[in-house]
Structure 1
Amino acid sequence: MSNKKWPTNLSISDSNPMLSEQNRSILRQSIEPFNTDGQVVAYWKFSKEYVKSGTIETGDLVLQDASGNGNDLVMQTFGDSRSVETENILKWSNSTYGNASNGQSLEFVNDKHAPVGCYFSTSDNAMINKEKFKEGFTIEAIVKLPPNFEPNKHSWMGILTRQGQASAINKLAGEKEILSTLSISNLREVQWTSHPTNLNVNETNWSFSLESKEEWYYISVVNDGNQTKLYVNGITDFRNTEAQVVGIDAVEGFGWNVGASMWSNEIDTLFSGKIQEIRITNRAIKREGWLMKSSQEGYTANGTNEQLALITASKNYNFLFLPDPQKTVRYQPEIFFTQMEWIADQKDSHNIAMTAFLGDMVDQSHAPEEWIVSDLGVEILDKQNIPYLVIAGNHDYGIGDPYLIYYGPDRYSEKEYYKGSSPSGFSSYGIIEAGSYHYLFLMVDMQHMMEDITWAKQIVKNHPNLPTILVSHEILAIAGDGISPQDTDRGNMLWNELVNEYDQIFMTVSGHNHGSVHRIMKNANGNKVIQMLVDYQSSFAGGNGWMRFAEFDEEMNKINFRSYSPWVENLPEEERTYFDVKHLTSPNDQFEIEINFKERFSFYIQSLS
């Protein structure tokens, strides 16, 4: 790879300035919040015990401020109050964080498309309406997402929102249509975005995606009068703003909403799910003073730290798919290096025949240090002669084609399994022997798909007798319900031009769209095609080292799919957080698919050309 334009002597050491402390360490539970004490400004407990007046049924419910400061919440109805759906929008629930036997919560059943919705706002004379929190603040919320969370119904739903918009106080940069809001994104991330008193633009803190819809989450936003951190179940990630942030600006005459976001002074998305408590203080408070002093016991519902075999019989073999590593490469390279070292060490013991990278090898194509980190990691495989192939993602394209400098044809010049590339240099293919077969891996570039598709067709025409796995950065997406696979334009093109017509293509794998999902399609010959999307970049720690294994079991005629993190495996138990699990166990992360190899690969004739 002598044509690289950037230095490659970056060492993997804490002292190297190109790998700063920020880039080397994800802020985990061990990082303490700011050590100051705050006084409670407002404390809302969503329990019948704190009903001041009215009822849900009559639409005039008022909840008393448990702090005694008079910041009462008044029920509001948005839309057509005569709709029959009004009866089910709000209801009391006995479900609580930690399943406390004596607690209650309030369930919101709002929907963007419903004719009516309900939320709460602070009373006109509430003292919190004028508070600007210039000495800091702590916002705590105990919430549960709806079991049917769908982006088209619930994305950007507000938990807590300051009414008004920044343009009213002459702040015209950033999102001037809002002031401050704690909300849930389309990817189920918690977002705190706020216009502080000292800046003319809003600053934003993000969490990772809240993967489970079945558990409670304790959210805290802590500001010490200077910087802000966002925590989920006592744990923070790398997505905190680094800006100096003082206070939460306000517009005179406007209050706060609970259960509704706003845009341009209009109600935007109403909350759906359950809220148990919200508490706000006028300074940062120590961890020991939080409502929930530690995360829930055990680990997230969609994972386990039990020992699960990645290969179940010595004759079986694995194909390994490494989803979009962009966030780990950028923010915590040691996760990426740990993945590479594990593959190099475990290739033989786990019969890993091929590793395929699903694209986005970096997060910023213009950042040389990210390409260097990515290159250093993959060179671990080179040194051990580990078979791998790489495809570009949308983050990998840039001036001077840095992807080709690092992952173009020259990289594979001495690798026997590598068989060639497209005229653009971005698409490629390789042939590898595993079990009873030789498999063809066809890597088709997303940006150059139109010009490379003719080349790709010729490759499969030239190898009609080899089982083929097609990899491209984008093939599948996830539908609005958050769980179902959805077609994309690029995926449709690949299906129509390649997959459907050429029977030897029995699997497609892609990343790009956040989350994981799979499905089985039937091609023109009526045979199964497995399609899989896997992308963990919006999950905790930018993917936390999770990789997708496909264990081929020819004797049992099935493929076992598992998601495993060697990074978490290597973490000392006392350093693991609630979200650190070795194995993801949701139905789209751990599953098996039956496949009669002899029948499905009846076309097979060994060919290495």
Structure 2
Amino acid sequence: MGILTRQGQGAELGRQGENGLLATLSVSNNKEFQWVSFDSRSSYPITHWSRCIESSQWLHVAAVNDGQLTSLYVNGIRDFRLTDQITNGIAAVAGKGWNVGASEWANEIEQCFAGSLKEIRITGRALSPQEWLTGPVEMQHLQGTNDAIPLLSGDASYQFLFIPDAQKMVQYNAEMFTAQMAWAAEHGGGKRIAMTAFVGDIVDGSSDAAQWQRSHEAISLLDESDMPYMMTAGNHDYGIGDPYLHYYGPERFAHKKYCKGFSPSRYSSCAVIAAGSYEYVFLMLDMLHVKEDLDWAKHMLSENSKLPTILVSHDMLDWTMSGGRRLPVDSETGSFIWQQLVDSHDQIFMTVNGHYFNTAHRIKQNRYGHDVIQLLVNYQSEYRGGNGWMRLAEFDEAAGRISFRTYSPWVEQFAKRPLAYPDFKYLTGEYDHFEVSWHFQSRFNFR
């Protein structure tokens, strides 16, 4: 749907390609800003995309051309899906102006904007960020630091690593995902990471073999280092021919002793790993086959009823805004999983999922009155599809706490150069960096 469109069409100037337009800023059906334009010389239009955006909030977007390059900024951040092709201004048809709130094709109004527009400015030169309607500082919503934060605080503590939705990184910035895997492979032992768990959406397009291959090459670093890991699929991972199973099905885990089996669908799986004073179960429950795999999941829980269990599935915890804060809520699938598995199986003390944008967490009591920590971890809508951020959970039995930290080994690579927002090694906001008091002995004494 159109936000701002320059009247006229490239065909009137002898241009080629999608020449039914001149320039347009619109919102695509994939929830992205698109800036498409002919410049003063090009034969074909040039397109820039933003990352995924969210509805129900004000967004500031700026398309800036300095006579050489066009950059698309959303809330003050230059987006990553941009071309470096030389672009000189915007083409124009004499005597024609602009449409506000509508796109145009072949001189006919096409898609109207549904929403609210506060103000639009069009200038004849590239404005600096300080001249924009909303200054960069006002638009910063992430909190973080590049000061050193210890990822381990206890002498005998240990960690679990959760990899959020990797889809945008794998599609557009595979080097970020590779940096995550390389760090886990190299530092997993020293940082006492007992298990790495993927929350799903490994790729963005399941029909794109190149994305699968990029993810495979990166994750193979964990295989080469014997770093334990388990996986679950997300909605973007399903496709014709079951490509997820081809790359990450039972055969990949057949010789990993910690893997204890797969479900009838072959998508859900279970692992047992020793860490600290306990053996932990990782129950990886597939979102699409959750009902089909339910009896299998109950059987695995019954077989391991005395072992503390972390349940990972792509779709469980969502959030809504309430009083200016994120209020965690069950998704439809999350409600089903809670009712059928979490509430009645006391050994499940933590759930982790992705799917929904951003991060949230809560502590909810099961039917036995015992705490269950629930986490939503998904940074794909943030800078460059996630900027390499991932979630670490440190278990400190002696101190009686679980500490959650968000860290980017990708940003760490550039720590020697000056870094600016939002290139933070550590995110420190209330939804990204927090602690939970935890009495291990009493909570892991299961009914």
TM-score (norm 2): 0.81
Determine which of 175, 185, 192 is the counterpart of 1:351. Answer: 192
Report the counterpart of residue 49 of structure 2 in structure 1.
205
Contact 1:569 1:582 in 2 (8 A): yes
C-alpha distance in structure 2 between counterparts of 1:254 and 1:377, whole Å: 49
Contact 1:364 1:396 in 2 (8 A): yes
1:217 CA drift (Å): 7.5
1:208 CA drift (Å): 6.8
1:448-497 deviation per Cα after TM superposition (whole angstroms, max 9, x unaligned): 11211111111111111111000001111221557221221111111111
1:585 matched to 2:418? no
- What is the number of residues matched between the two proteins? 425
Report the counterpart of residue 237 of structure 1 in structure 2.
79
Distance 1:249 1:181, change over 3 A: farther
Distance 1:574 1:242, change over 3 A: closer
Report the counterpart of residue 516 of structure 1 in structure 2.
359
Letter paired with 2:364: M
Contact 2:271 2:281 in 1 (8 A): yes
Distance 1:165 1:592, change over 3 A: farther
Determine which of 476, 483, 490 is the counterpart of 2:333. Answer: 490
Structure 2 gap segments, 5+ residues each: 13-17, 104-108
C-alpha distance in structure 1 between counterparts of 2:81 and 2:143, whole Å: 22
C-alpha distance in structure 2 between counterparts of 1:571 and 1:209, whole Å: 27
1:429 CA drift (Å): 0.4
Contact 2:76 2:129 in 1 (8 A): no
Contact 1:209 1:540 in 2 (8 A): no
Contact 1:358 1:473 in 2 (8 A): yes
DSSP 3-state at the match of 1:451: coil
C-alpha distance in structure 2 between counterparts of 1:409 and 1:208, whole Å: 32
Distance 1:527 1:290, change over 3 A: closer
User: Which residues in structure 2 correspond to 1:496-507 (within 5 Å)?
Assistant: 496-507=339-350
Contact 1:476 1:491 in 2 (8 A): yes
Distance 1:325 1:186, change over 3 A: closer
1:325-373 deviation per Cα after TM superposition (whole angstroms, max 9, x unaligned): 1122222222112111111121122110110011111122112221111
Distance 1:426 1:244, change over 3 A: farther
1:534 matched to 2:377? yes
Contact 1:518 1:532 in 2 (8 A): yes
374-383 vs 570-579, which moves further? 570-579
1:572 CA drift (Å): 4.6
1:300 CA drift (Å): 7.0
Determine which of 451, 454, 479 is the counterpart of 2:292. Answer: 451
Letter paired with 1:205: W
Distance 1:429 1:234, change over 3 A: same
Report the counterpart of residue 574 of structure 1 in structure 2.
417
Determine which of 186, 189, 214 is the counterpart of 1:373. Answer: 214
1:590 CA drift (Å): 0.5
1:576 CA drift (Å): 3.5
Determine which of 556, 561, 570 is the counterpart of 2:399. Answer: 556
Distance 1:342 1:529, change over 3 A: same
DSSP 3-state at the match of 1:598: helix
1:269 CA drift (Å): 2.6
1:377 CA drift (Å): 1.0
1:255 CA drift (Å): 5.5
DSSP 3-state at the match of 2:394: strand
Report the counterpart of residue 269 of structure 1 in structure 2.
115
Report the counterpart of residue 469 of structure 1 in structure 2.
310
1:223 CA drift (Å): 7.3
Distance 1:461 1:251, change over 3 A: farther
1:393 matched to 2:237? no
User: Which residues in structure 2 correspond to 1:592-607 (within 5 Å)?
Assistant: 592-603=435-446
Distance 1:476 1:578, change over 3 A: same
Contact 1:208 1:540 in 2 (8 A): no
DSSP 3-state at the match of 1:270: coil
C-alpha distance in structure 2 between counterparts of 1:324 and 1:517, whole Å: 14
Letter paired with 1:410: E
Distance 1:182 1:249, change over 3 A: farther
Report the counterpart of residue 52 of structure 1 in structure 2.
none
Report the counterpart of residue 361 of structure 1 in structure 2.
202
TM-score (norm 1): 0.61
Structure 1 gap segments, 5+ residues each: 1-155, 605-609
C-alpha distance in structure 2 between counterparts of 1:332 and 1:427, whole Å: 28
Report the counterpart of residue 313 of structure 1 in structure 2.
154
1:150-200 deviation per Cα after TM superposition (whole angstroms, max 9, x unaligned): xxxxxx9x9x7459999xx9xxxx9x9xx844789998x7x3545769999
Report the counterpart of residue 428 of structure 1 in structure 2.
269
C-alpha distance in structure 2 between counterparts of 1:235 and 1:493, whole Å: 38
Report the counterpart of residue 337 of structure 1 in structure 2.
178
C-alpha distance in structure 1 between counterparts of 2:25 and 2:414, whole Å: 35
C-alpha distance in structure 1 between counterparts of 2:355 and 2:184, whole Å: 22
Determine which of 396, 402, 427 is the counterpart of 2:243. Answer: 402
C-alpha distance in structure 1 between counterparts of 2:94 and 2:305, whole Å: 68
Distance 1:558 1:248, change over 3 A: farther
595-604 vs 445-454, which moves further? 595-604
Contact 1:183 1:261 in 2 (8 A): no
Contact 1:203 1:243 in 2 (8 A): no
Letter paired with 2:275: A
Give the number of the structure whose alpha-carbon radius of gyration is greater. 1
C-alpha distance in structure 2 between counterparts of 1:569 and 1:186, whole Å: 31
C-alpha distance in structure 2 between counterparts of 1:180 and 1:597, whole Å: 57
1:434 CA drift (Å): 0.8
Letter paired with 1:238: F
Distance 1:200 1:420, change over 3 A: same
Distance 1:475 1:165, change over 3 A: farther
1:266-305 deviation per Cα after TM superposition (whole angstroms, max 9, x unaligned): 7743356xx8x94511x6x5x989848x977xx9751111
Letter paired with 1:317: Y
C-alpha distance in structure 1 between counterparts of 2:407 and 2:145, whole Å: 10
C-alpha distance in structure 2 between counterparts of 1:289 and 1:338, whole Å: 31
1:577 CA drift (Å): 4.1
Distance 1:181 1:329, change over 3 A: closer
